[in-house]
Amino acid sequence: MKPRIVYDEKVPYVAEVLGDKCELVALPAGEITRESAADADGLIIRTRTRADRNLLEGARCKIVATATIGMDHIDREWCERAGIRVANAPGCNAPAVAQWVFAAIASITDRPESRVLGVVGAGHVGSIVAKWGESMGMKVLVCDPPRARKEGSEGFCDLATIAEKADIITFHTPLTKEGEDATYHLAGERFFNALRRKPYILNAARGPVTDTRAMLDALDNGKIAGVMIDCWEGEPEIDRELLERAIVATPHIAGYSLEGKIRATAMAAREIGKVLLPEDNAETDMSHIARDADGRWINVPQGAADGVTMRSVAESYDIAADTARLKRSPEEFENLRNNYALRHEVK
């Protein structure tokens, strides 16, 4: 019998990758329930599905693959105890999020070399943002305490230095609530009070990394020049005052590139194959998953482009149009996100 895979219908190209190897059931995120998952051998989900005991206890599921970088919607400890493998798609949409960051920056300046960029979190996304910023002539400050402890302090600074010296501060951390590197409300009242250069604040990480009330107070008190938000506390029920005041406001779609979605599906399919199709050792070729309107295979690079400029980013992505759509219809947050017209990454 073929393995049965229940997957979020918004994860594209699953049928193209696994259709001849698995029995596939595509469902809206809200319909991936304890009942529908009970007889699944594997799940492919997004952040809108909470994978935990409530969903999976008693199920025959052997693997949960999320077609996202983040995994805070998965109870990994419970899954491990239950013998369920968990996999994500690290770096799949990192170039797209970096594209969003510089499209947002392009909305406030066409002279990036005159700005100091503070990057908080130097994982897949933050590393690309830092690299592109340096290539555009920006002075880049990078804060990532876990990496600094592991790799040495050279090339890293602390958050206090970024608060003191940065003109633009962009967050690219996971969401964690415990431990010395907890990121919940990392940008909170204390952080905003420590700012010295009235910077712009960008959040394309997780909504609760920035404290909405503290950010609004910082705007009121002139501590920050403006905010650019893709990830919101409480989404899809987002704060309307913050929405109104944001320079850039998008419905959690910073990583929504066609190339990123293809990478994510390919990564999820590979992990599904390792667990449920061990006899099938073939690699999933990302360059032969999707075709364009003319029937040509879409080229999907493994990593981010080189030689990116502010102009090439601005020409590749109209971030103002996405902002206008959300500001016009904030009640449509989920619909705008779920039915987003995937853009191409900057080349």
Residues classed as catalytic: 206, 235, 252
Q: What are the tokens at 114?
A: 């005159």
**Sequence-distant (≥ 6) Cβ neighbours of residue 117 within 8 angstroms:** 105, 129, 130, 133, 138, 139, 140, 141, 166, 167, 168, 169, 170
- Of residues 253, 260, 235, the one with CA closest to residue 339: 253
Cα–Cα–Cα angle for 191, 110, 321, rounded to 5 degrees: 80
86: β partners: 64
Indicate the helix (H) or strand (E) that contains 155: none
Indicate the helix (H) or strand (E) that contains 159: helix 159-165
Q: Distance of alpha carbon 177 from its chain centroid, rounded?
A: 18
Q: What are the tokens at 277?
A: 């199709």
Q: What are the tokens at 274?
A: 């390792």
Which amino acid is it at 29? Answer: A
Cα–Cα distance, 22 to 15 (Å, whole number): 9
Cα–Cα distance, 300 to 296 (Å, whole number): 12
Cα–Cα distance, 165 to 5 (Å, whole number): 49
Q: Given the DSSP bridges, would you call strands 248-249 and 116-120 parallel, antiparallel or unpaired?
A: unpaired
Task: Output the CA–CA distances (angstroms, integers) from residue 44 to 2, 74, 85, 252, 270, in the order listed.
Answer: 16, 12, 12, 19, 11
